[in-house]
Amino acid sequence: MRVTIVFLVIQLFSQASIVVGQSRITTEESSKMKNQIEGFYSWYIDLIHNKRLNEDFNPRFVKKSDGMTTLDFTNYKNALEKFNFSKDFIQTKINDYQECVENLAKVPFEKFSKFEDLDDFENIKCDFSNTYEWTGGMDRKNNVEILRITRLNRSRILATISFEPAGMALVYFKKNGTNWEIDNLTIDRDTNE
């Protein structure tokens, strides 16, 4: 009998430590993350449908003071900050354009402004405006739905989302003080193209 009681007490404490180690997501946290994800994707999808993505979000091609070409990330960075993406993640995304920026530095803006063919942009690794970076692929999406939100640990949460008509993504949140920031996003491109 004593062994059974000791065993039950050990089981009770081990179960309690599992629950504490994987604390639940509060309604407030869930609501904020839902609003963050849906807010960003609602805005992004509207830009695509209204043909405003290149003007209002994507990095813009601009003339540098030396007459060469570069990218301006002002709208891109401001939009991601508005929807509470982490500074580290924003910088990682900007760094993804480095090869394009390096190639543009060799192209006079006057010559660049005559580029019309997709091959011109592909040759300098600047063909980003023919795909939808944040939903994957070249097909327009109509909506986003949050399938589940899972706490990974005290400072990390994972949201699984789906796109209509097809596609999925994983959105990772990181706690920064009292705020949750989007710290990574992985698109499942296999279902999008």
pLDDT tens track, the chain, 193 positions: 454 343 333 444 433 333 334 578 899 999 999 999 999 999 999 999 999 998 999 999 999 999 999 999 999 999 999 999 999 999 999 999 999 999 999 999 999 999 988 889 999 999 887 678 899 878 889 999 999 999 999 999 999 999 999 999 999 999 999 999 999 999 985 543 4
| Beta strand residue intervals within the chain, DSSP E | 60-63, 69-72, 143-153, 156-164, 168-176, 179-188
**Token pair in block for residue 166:** 């097809």
Contact call for residues 71 and 97 (beta carbons, < 8 A) = yes
Question: What DSSP state is assigned to residue 108?
Answer: B
The angle subtended at Cα 89 by Cα 86 and Cα 94, nearest 5°, is 125
Whole-angstrom Cα Rg for the chain: 22
Q: Tally DSSP H helices, then E strands, for the chain.
A: 8, 6
